[in-house]
Structure 1
Amino acid sequence: MDSTYLLWRSIHVGAVVLSGCLFMGRGAAMLLGRPGMMRPALRYLSYGIDTVLLVSAVTLATVLALNPLSTPWLALKIGLVVLYIVLGSFALKRARTRQGKILAYAAALICFIMIAHLAHRQPVLWS
């Protein structure tokens, strides 16, 4: 496999792990009533990690010549990422009730798992 691909895949997977862990931690803290996880420094760290995640995803798609309009699993993954972002936003700040935050948090985590599973099932990405 091309070394460029391997480098960007490693960056992407690392960013996925960091982003997921940060979201899980911030969400759990919010559910426990610890608002400190919403500090600007952590929000900006999240933005930075997610920017690296997005850049690495676009780079991988370019390196692999993948078009989301003709690659169904990639189109589904992008749709799930959008849903994950919306649900995460509701979980961390936009939901008005605690129950709404809990439901959005659980749904966002399910989306995250589905995204990871979907990507891991693609043999071209792991060979």
Structure 2
Amino acid sequence: MTLTFILLKHLHVWCVVLSVMLFCVRLSWLRKQNELLKKRIVRILPHLIDNLMMISGIGMMLILHYHQYLPNWLALKLVLLGSYIMFGLLAMRKKQARLITSSLALLSVFTIVWLAINKPALSFLTF
């Protein structure tokens, strides 16, 4: 493995950790109606972290030549990333469904992490 790949992987993992932690903190603040949610940095930081996470992920895909052949586990991770974004957005905006949507967002993330660690064949999926 190249040094570039290792640096991208570490950046990617740190962005995942920061993204989930910030999501949970923002949910807590939302529940308590904390004024910190209105701060500009709190509104911008999740977008910066998530974009950096996606850019580092794309960089790793290019280094590993996954742009030529996308494994099923990676395709599923991309679908789950979309569900994390969608459920996270709903959790932040819809009070009546917050418990369900935040739980589904976190379930999406935990599944993504499981897929990243185990990289199963998933032969039942054909993309």
The code of the aligned residue for 1:92 comes to M
Partner Cα separation in structure 1 for residue 77 and residue 65 of structure 2? 16
CA displacement, residues 80-111 of structure 1 (integer Å, 9 cap, x when unaligned): 00000000000012x2xx33011111111111
| Structure 2 residue identity aligned to 1:6 | I
Deviations 1:64-93 (A, max 9, x none): 111386310111000000000000000012
**Corresponding residue number in structure 1 for 2:106:** 109
Q: Percent identity?
A: 29
Secondary structure, in 3 states, of the residue corresponding to 1:55? Answer: helix
Q: Structure 1: which amino acid aligns with 2:46?
A: S
Query: In the comparison of the two structures, how many residue pairs are matched?
Result: 120
**CA offset at residue 120 of structure 1?**
1.2
Q: Which residue matches 2:123? A: none
**CA contact under 8 A between 1:69 and 1:75: conserved in structure 2?**
no
For 2:51 and 2:68, the matched residues in 1 are separated by 19
Matches of 2:4 and 2:70 in 1, distance apart?
23
Aligned partners of 1:26 and 1:38 also within 8 Å? no
Q: Secondary structure at the match of 1:99?
A: helix
With normalisation by structure 1, the TM-score equals 0.85
Q: How does 1:1-127 map to 2 (within 5 A)?
A: 1-67=1-67, 70-93=70-93, 95=94, 98-122=95-119
Cα root mean square deviation, aligned? 1.9
The verdict on how the C-alpha distance between 1:36 and 1:50 changes in structure 2, with shifts beyond 3 A counting, is same
Contact persistence 1:68–1:75 (CA under 8 A)? no
Structure 2 unaligned regions, length at least 5: 121-127
